[in-house]
Structure 1
Amino acid sequence: MSSAESPRHGILDPSDRRILRELQRDGRINNNELAERTGMSSSPCWRRTRRLEETGIIAGYSANLDRRKIGLGVLVYVSVQIDTHGESDAAAFEKAIIDLDEIVTCHSVGGGSDFILLVACRDLDAYADFSMTVLRRLPGIKAMTSNFALKEIKAFTGFTIPD
């Protein structure tokens, strides 16, 4: 593959960006349609897509689900402060939350909190139960604040591909 057909050092060329934009819109698109939508011929489009996958820029493919239609009516952003800030304490917390299905995402953050969790549950009662029986019992938690999403203004649909 020529250097013009592969991302180097994290830099994407315009063709790579077009491919990524289209795949975020429709991850099930076939290569011929992708090539047509990106203004490329089939073979170079296929090679570029494979290279984007091999380099990890495309981390995988998935379906976007409507959480309400699958029975997850409540979204909660949970700010967590841990007791101490030693490496082992943070690692113990991180290890404890990895396999909890209700936690959609977890980010280590700076500022007033140590971690921000996005939790999805069936309803308020399910969140209350999860919060009291699971979250509050995680290792090292000093404080926890729940912020309930009242209305979704803009859902995540993909990243803006920088020029």
Structure 2
Amino acid sequence: MPEPDETDDTILRALSKDSRISNADLAEKVGLSASSCWRRVRALEEAGVIEGYTIRINDARRGLGFKAIVHVQLTRHDPEQQQVFIRAVRHREEVRACYATTGQADYHLHVTCADIDAYNRFLEQFLFRIPAVSSAQTNVILRSVKD
């Protein structure tokens, strides 16, 4: 696929706002014929620029009102222990995202739970039971400015 151009960027912005938009409406929005628009979207998918389509869920309406960023430090950094940690967090529903980072913490987790009690259970029954975890510092999310 050639380098994405301004039209591709317009398509991507439109799809990121509403991934359920019909091809006809998308084509009209970006100023292309429906067939040309479909070919461009398909090329973006095949090139891996578009990795998939998803939905946004209102966590509060699902009873998940507690959100935090957890800064995790590991006791040691051997690859085997890191993989144990990574496999563990990948399978936890509470962990919405996990980032390996530079700086004081080794990983940053975006965690969502029902409430502080559920979060405490997450820490005690899961996170602190992973042998490689040395410590975790929590920053509670007060409100979302941009998702």
* Aligned residues with identical type, % of pairs: 37
One-letter identity of the residue aligned with 1:152? S
**Partner of 2:42 in structure 1?**
50
Distance in 1 separating the partners of 2:144 and 2:17: 20
Distance in 2 separating the partners of 1:151 and 1:42: 40
4+ residue segments displaced more than 4 Å = none
**Partner of 1:21 in structure 2?**
13
Deviations 1:8-62 (A, max 9, x none): 3xx3101110100000011000100000000111111000001111111111111
2:59 equivalent among 57, 60, 67? 67
**Partner of 1:82 in structure 2?**
74
Local SS of the residue matching 2:111: strand
**Partner of 1:33 in structure 2?**
25
Local SS of the residue matching 1:69: helix
* RMSD over aligned Cα atoms: 1.0
**Partner of 2:135 in structure 1?**
143
1:103 equivalent among 86, 95, 100? 95
1:149 positional shift: 0.7
1:153 positional shift: 2.1
One-letter identity of the residue aligned with 2:53? Y
- Indicate the structure with greater helix content: 2
One-letter identity of the residue aligned with 1:52? L
**Partner of 2:85 in structure 1?**
93
**Partner of 1:161 in structure 2?**
none
Deviations 1:89-128 (A, max 9, x none): 2111111111111100000000000000000001111111
1:138 positional shift: 1.5
Unaligned runs of 5+ in 2: none
TM-score normalised according to structure 2 size: 0.96
Distance in 2 separating the partners of 1:71 and 1:39: 42
Check the 8 A contact 1:96/1:139 in 2, yes or no.
Answer: no
- Name the count of aligned residue pairs: 147
